[in-house]
Amino acid sequence: MRHRVAGRRLSRDSEHRLALRRNLAASLFEYETISTTIEKAKEVKPFTEKLITLAKKGTLTARRKAISMLGNRNIIAYEDNKPVKKNTIIGKLFSEIGPRYLDRHGGYTRIIHLALRRLGDNGQLVLLQLVGSEDQPEKKSGKKTSEKKFRKKARKPQQTTKAADRSNEETDKQQ
């Protein structure tokens, strides 16, 4: 029985799972979108959400906690075929990603299912990406429901006025 056993094994031992989770989270923070399998994405999503919540705090304690959870690898870019250090993962997390979500209470990542499958084992692929403040879906306006309510309200008085007209006609005939 698996009572109170959380998480997925992913056919790896515990050290390999930890390294996989750290590497996927670091890649997500570096590139802001990654392609992976659905099981790995579902496993790394809560981990990254917790790290972004730490980054929103922005304190030294939160930074140290994030370094202990994630590590602090360098972000390297190639200019003229030479590697150049741009930043660190923790630096980008605390300087760019954390402040981006200050007004958001959770839900910093999304999983988008792809129609593609991996060639070797036919695994289902997904995109795991950070939600941007400009990419937030707009709330649907209540126009349709208010129009329907308005139409229903408009019909009822018309029906009642017709019924009233009939009753008035009947009373006129009786007099």
- pLDDT tens, residue by residue, 70-97: 999 999 999 999 999 999 999 999 999 9
Can you read off the two tokens belonging to residue 150?
């308005």
Contact 55, 17 (CB under 8 A): no
What does pLDDT average to over the chain? 85
**Count of C-beta atoms within a 10 Å radius of residue 8:** 11
Per-domain residue ranges of the chain: 14-134, 141-175
Residues of the chain above pLDDT 70, percent: 75
DSSP 50-81: HHHHHHHH--HHHHHHHHHHH--PEEEEEETT
Please report the pLDDT score of residue 61 as a whole number: 97
Q: Cα(61)–Cα(72) distance, rounded to whole angstroms?
A: 15
* Dihedral (Cα; 51, 57, 63, 68), 10-degree rounding: -40
Count Cα neighbours of 109 within 13 Å in the Cβ-side half-sphere. 26
Q: What is the mean pLDDT of residues 18-34?
A: 96
- pLDDT interval class at 6 (50, 70, 90): confident
Contact 70, 51 (CB under 8 A): yes
Q: How deeply is 25 buried, as exposed, middle or buried, from its count of CB atoms within 10 A (0-12, 13-18, 19+)?
A: buried
Please report the pLDDT score of residue 2 as a whole number: 87
- pLDDT interval class at 146 (50, 70, 90): very low
| Architecture of the domain whose range is 14-134 | Alpha-Beta Complex (3.90)
Please report the pLDDT score of residue 155 as a whole number: 52
Please report the pLDDT score of residue 160 as a whole number: 52
- pLDDT tens, residue by residue, 66-77: 999 999 999 999
pLDDT: which is higher, 172 or 33? 33
Residue 159 pLDDT > 60 = no
Mean pLDDT check: name the lowest of 98-107, 114-123, 127-136, 150-159.
Answer: 150-159
Q: How deeply is 171 buried, as exposed, middle or buried, from its count of CB atoms within 10 A (0-12, 13-18, 19+)?
A: exposed
Q: What is the mean pLDDT of residues 137-166?
A: 51
